[in-house]
Amino acid sequence: MTPLHPPAATTSRLSAFANKHRKYVLAGPATFFIACMLIIPLGFTVYLSMTGASGSVSRNADFIGLANYLEVLTSNDRFWPAVGRTFAFTAVVLAVEMLAGLGVALLLWRTFRGDSIIRVIILLPLVATPVAVGMMWMLIFHPTIGAANEILSWIGVSAQGWLSDPRQALPTLMFIDIWQWTPMVALILLAGLRSISDEPLEAAAVDGANSFQRLIHVILPTLAPTLITALLLRAIDALKTFDIIYATKGKGGGSYHEAETLNILAYSYSFDYQYYGKASAVLVLFLIIILAICAVLIIMRKGRKA
Amino acid sequence: MKLKNTMTAVAALALLLPVAACSPSAPKDGAESQTLNVALPTHAWTNAIKESIPEFEKASGIKVALTTFGEDQLSDQYNVKLNTKSKDFDVMMFRPPQDGKLFVQNGWLAPVDDYLKKADAGYKWDDFLPATVDSVTVDGSVYGAPLITEQEVLYYNKKLLAEANVKVPTTMEELEAAAAKLTDRDKGQFGFLSRGQLSASVTQFSSFLYSFGADFDNGKKATLDTPEAKKAYEFYGRMLNQYAPPGTTEMNWIQAMPIFAQGKVAFYTDVSSLSPNLDDPSTSTVVNDWGVAPFPAGPAGSHPYNISAWALGINAFSESKDAAWKFMEWATGPDMSLKLQQKGQSLARASLYSSAEGTKGFRDDMIAAIKTSTAPGVAVGHDRPLVVKVSEAREIIGKPIVTGIDGGDVAGAIEEAQTKYQQFLDEETKA
């Protein structure tokens, strides 16, 4: 006969063990989850990046050490331009989104008639799926039958290439990203603004500070942690942007790779060319870059707190 | 204290749970009815066969579970799943020219030779067009049944041609003269259009290349810089540079076809299977105005590609290979092929084009164009280089096309492409 429950002795021994190592036992499930979902895939990626894996991962691949990294880091036609584009894209969209987001948040700070409707309208780009957004802008910016050139023609401006022009593709994509993500920044900053109490603002007003001085000396310093949080979130997201670029420019980021960021490049290497080793090397390098930026931003935030 | 002890014991047990969840599930009961997983792209063929699947389920007792993806997403799915030896798909629809060699080399497709030997005589394997059988044959083994065939044809806008009193061209020279005459940029009217995007352009450029008397390679040596190939590159680039709407270097058919469908372009070369899009009044204003003609002749004659764009194959890791073959035999058999052909699909069985029943779903000019294009000695059986890493090769070959469209130094670009493509071929044959 097999007992349905473990005998009392086993239970108490188990609890004694668990009690003694409580911190490990309680942290166990989360640790296990992180190991499964994060460390193992990451470790495998690092391993792949040092092999010549191509075609199928399950085929035997030679261990080639850092050769992939060497090849990627000396690739002047694809890798370095992609690094440049990734940072240009991120810098521009971050700057505009933070400024515009702050502006929108300040406008929506004080309640007024119909503000809830405006808030909903502003949030619409955020809830649209990225591929649908990509398709929509692709039609609007179609050089021959799109609405954008139609509108330009009304005011006498000649037709532009937009996404199809190698020089305009990246700026157009920046515009789309700004259109889509400024609302999120505004939303975060608005929440931050709402938490500022009235007293310091009133005190500043009594002391004769005008609204610009209040913004610079009271609002912004109080809002700083929220600003840095929004900046961090958007920076990570913008660096990793994939969906709208893939949806509008396809694999390889255009005929001249003019919109190819690091993520798009890694996609080309892995899914299109099936050079898994090389793709993993690009991704590991990309991860190092993102970690470095996060470290800088977190140190900045800590510095402010101290 | 007692409660606390119990709780930590529960926590300790919870720690073990995920491990149990990770362990493989018990083997399936053999008695339960068989389910066959079929992966298909969102394609007109998929829509056409969907309605008939209950008939197959009833006759065979096999339950069919369909999964459909967009074309690019489907190949990504194969990539991700087959890399982990997944059994999620039994029957896979794949693109022989693009994926065939790669999938076979990766060990993802199961050979079907034995099934073909045992197949019913009524299946008529020898009815399949030879070029399409070649496309699913790798190193002497057959890896699938060809489905859709595609040829490059010349679409034209009857209204624009009639207005300018232009005849349908039959040679490249006539095509260029007509395109020049019909281009009126101020009116937003253009003479010619074809795909111009780096990678996408290569397949449509291929027929021009063959008709000028060239090819991508001869198996070992790159032949992109032969005098014939140079002329083809120059011609294709010039046509798109001078007579096409702006932005062609970013155009796959998805971007190009709507411009023709909006009546803004006189001539458009692309694949025959796109024609249903032109007949759809919700996206096309040329439903009554479009015509189609065989691919125009170059200095070496008219040599459009004729390929098997899609085929059905069996996942090498599948545990239901017999059932998968049953499905393939049914879906590509003579009866079902005729039924789908009548719904407008252009399938790979030769008999479908010689019988009135088989051509019922087609316009007269389309069937004439297909017949001319697939005649022996005319069609070429590939529309992209016959290599394993097709995507990479296409980006090398497409570079001089893009350069030509943008009016750059084509000769220099060809020289560079020739060198790079030769390196690429050397590495492929070495591996």
Encoded tokens for B306:
């004729």
User: Do A276 and A127 belong together in one domain?
Assistant: yes
How many beta carbons lie within 10 A of that of residue A99, not counting itself?
12
Mean pLDDT of A287-297: 87
Instruction: Examine the pLDDT at A289 and tell me if it is beyond 50.
Output: yes
Q: Which one-letter amino acid corresponds to residue A18? A: A
ipTM over 0.85: no
- The alpha carbon of residue A88 is apart from the nearest alpha carbon of chain B, in Å, by 22
| C-alpha distances out from residue A266 to A131, A270, B67, B356, Å | 19, 6, 27, 51
* DSSP H or E stretch at residue A72: helix A67-73
Single out the residue of A34, A63, A38, A43 nearest to residue A51, CA to CA.
Answer: A63
pLDDT reported for residue A6: 57
Q: Taking CB atoms and an 8 Å limit, are B247 and A143 in contact across chains?
A: yes
Q: Is there a contact between A298 and B417 (Cβ–Cβ < 8 Å)?
A: no
Query: Among A29, A48, A68, which residue terminates a domain?
Result: A68
Band of pLDDT at residue B15, cut at 50, 70 and 90 = very low
pLDDT reported for residue B19: 40
Share of chain B above pLDDT 70, in %: 92
Q: Which one-letter amino acid corresponds to residue A213? A: Q
pLDDT reported for residue B231: 97
Would A98 be classed as within a structural domain? yes
Q: Is there a contact between B147 and B135 (Cβ–Cβ < 8 Å)?
A: no
User: Do A270 and A193 belong together in one domain?
Assistant: yes
Q: What 3-state DSSP class applies to B93? A: strand
Q: Taking CB atoms and an 8 Å limit, are B188 and A255 in contact across chains?
A: no
Q: Is there a contact between B195 and B203 (Cβ–Cβ < 8 Å)?
A: yes
Query: Among A20, A46, A68, which residue terminates a domain?
Result: A68
Q: Can you give the pTM of this predicted structure?
A: 0.81
Band of pLDDT at residue B331, cut at 50, 70 and 90 = very high
pLDDT reported for residue B7: 47
Would A3 be classed as within a structural domain? no
pLDDT reported for residue B431: 63
Instruction: Answer with the residue of higher pLDDT: B122 or A6.
Output: B122
Single out the residue of A223, A296, A263, A268 nearest to residue A82, CA to CA.
Answer: A263
Q: Is there a contact between A14 and B9 (Cβ–Cβ < 8 Å)?
A: yes
pLDDT reported for residue B374: 82
Q: Is there a contact between B394 and B199 (Cβ–Cβ < 8 Å)?
A: yes
Residue B282: CB partners within 8 Å, gap ≥ 6? none
User: Do A211 and A90 belong together in one domain?
Assistant: yes
Q: Could you read off the pLDDT of B356-382 as tens digits, one per residue?
A: 888 887 888 998 998 888 887 888 889
Strands, E assignment, B7-127:
35-41, 63-69, 91-94, 109-110
- Residues from chain B contacting residue A277 (CB–CB below 8 Å): none
Tally the residues of chain A. 306
Q: Using CA atoms, how far apart are residues B314 and A16, in angstroms rounded to an integer? A: 55
Q: Taking CB atoms and an 8 Å limit, are B102 and A55 in contact across chains?
A: yes
pLDDT reported for residue A75: 83
Instruction: Examine the pLDDT at B211 and tell me if it is beyond 90.
Output: yes
Q: Where in the sequence is the domain holding A170, given as residue range(s)?
A: 77-305
Q: Is there a contact between B179 and B192 (Cβ–Cβ < 8 Å)?
A: yes
Q: Is there a contact between B2 and A16 (Cβ–Cβ < 8 Å)?
A: no
Q: Say if B35-148+309-354 and B151-306+383-430 have the same CATH topology.
A: yes
CATH number at residue A138: 1.10.3720.10
Mean pLDDT of chain B: 89
Would A285 be classed as within a structural domain? yes
- Residues from chain A contacting residue B199 (CB–CB below 8 Å): 251-252
Band of pLDDT at residue B25, cut at 50, 70 and 90 = very low
Single out the residue of B350, B325, B328, B349 nearest to residue B337, CA to CA.
Answer: B349
User: Do A140 and A265 belong together in one domain?
Assistant: yes
Contacts 24+ apart (CB under 8 A), B324-328: B324/B36, B324/B90, B324/B91, B325/B112, B325/B115, B326/B60, B326/B62, B327/B36, B327/B38, B327/B56, B327/B60, B327/B62, B327/B64, B327/B90, B327/B91, B328/B91, B328/B112, B328/B144, B328/B145
Would A218 be classed as within a structural domain? yes
Tally the residues of chain B. 431
Which CATH code for domain B35-148+309-354? 3.40.190.10
Query: Among A68, A93, A120, which residue terminates a domain?
Result: A68
Looking at the 3D structure of chain A, how many domains does it have?
A: 2
Helix axes B390-405, B201-211, angle to 10 degrees: 70
Q: Could you read off the pLDDT of B91-145 as tens digits, one per residue?
A: 999 999 999 999 999 999 999 999 999 998 899 999 998 888 888 999 999 999 9
Q: Could you read off the pLDDT of A127-169 as tens digits, one per residue?
A: 888 888 988 998 899 888 889 999 998 998 888 889 888 899 9
pLDDT reported for residue A7: 64
Instruction: Examine the pLDDT at A264 and tell me if it is beyond 60.
Output: yes
Residue B278: CB partners within 8 Å, gap ≥ 6? B155, B257, B260, B261, B284, B286, B287, B290
pLDDT reported for residue B359: 86
Cα A48 vs. chain centroid, distance in angstroms?
25
Does domain B151-306+383-430 fall under CATH 3.40.190.10? My reply is yes
Q: Euclidean distance between the first and final Cα of chain B, in Å?
A: 67
A contact set with B (CB within 8 A): 11-12, 14-19, 22, 25-26, 28-29, 32-33, 36, 55-59, 142-145, 159, 161, 163-166, 169, 249-252, 254-256, 270-274
Instruction: Examine the pLDDT at B18 and tell me if it is beyond 80.
Output: no
pLDDT reported for residue A27: 87
